[in-house]
Amino acid sequence: MESIREEIQQLKKEKNAVILAHYYVPGEVQEIADYVGDSYYLSKMAKQTDADVIVFAGVAFMGESAKILNPDKMVLLPDEEADCAMAHMASAEKVRQMRSQYEDLAVVCYINSTAELKTVSDVCVTSSNAVEIVNALPNKNIFFIPDGNLAAYVAEQVPQKHVIRNDGYCPVHRAVGAGEVQKAKEAHPEALFLVHPECTKEVLALADFVGSTKGIIRFAEESDAKEFLVGTEEGVLYELRKNNPEKTFYSVMPGCCQDMKRVTLKKVLDCLKEEKHQVEMEEETRILAQKALDRMLELAK
Ligand code: 13P
Ligand code: SF4
Q: In whole angstroms, how far apart are CA 113 and each of 201, 281, 285, 289? A: 21, 15, 13, 11
Handedness of CA 48, 51, 53, 57 (dihedral sign): negative
Shortest-distance ligand to the CA of residue 83? 2
CB 49 near ligand 1, within 6 Å = no
CB 170 near ligand 2, within 6 Å = yes
Tell me the average pLDDT of the chain.
Answer: 97
| Alpha carbons 203 and 252: distance in angstroms, whole number | 11
Residue 242 near residue 33, CB atoms below 8 Å: no
Shortest-distance ligand to the CA of residue 124? 1
Parallel, antiparallel, or unpaired: how do β-strands 162-165 and 141-145 relate? parallel
Mean pLDDT for the stretch of residues 126-136: 97
Tell which atom from ligand 2 comes closest to the C-alpha of 84.
1
pLDDT confidence of residue 301: 83
CB 290 near ligand 1, within 6 Å = no
pLDDT tens string 34-73: 999 999 999 999 999 999 999 999 999 999 999 999 999 9
Shortest-distance ligand to the CA of residue 213? 1
Nearest-CA residue for ligand 2 atom 1 is: 84
Q: Please give the radius of gyration of the chain, using alpha carbons only, rounded to the nearest integer.
A: 19
Phi and psi at 43, nearest 5°, equal: -70, -35
| Alpha carbons 38 and 20: distance in angstroms, whole number | 10
CB 233 near ligand 2, within 6 Å = yes
pLDDT tens string 234-280: 999 999 999 999 999 999 999 999 999 999 999 999 999 999 999 99
3-state SS assignment for residue 233: coil
Q: pTM of the full predicted structure?
A: 0.96
Q: What percent of the chain has pLDDT over 90?
A: 99
Centre of ligand 2 to C-alpha 83, Å, is 8
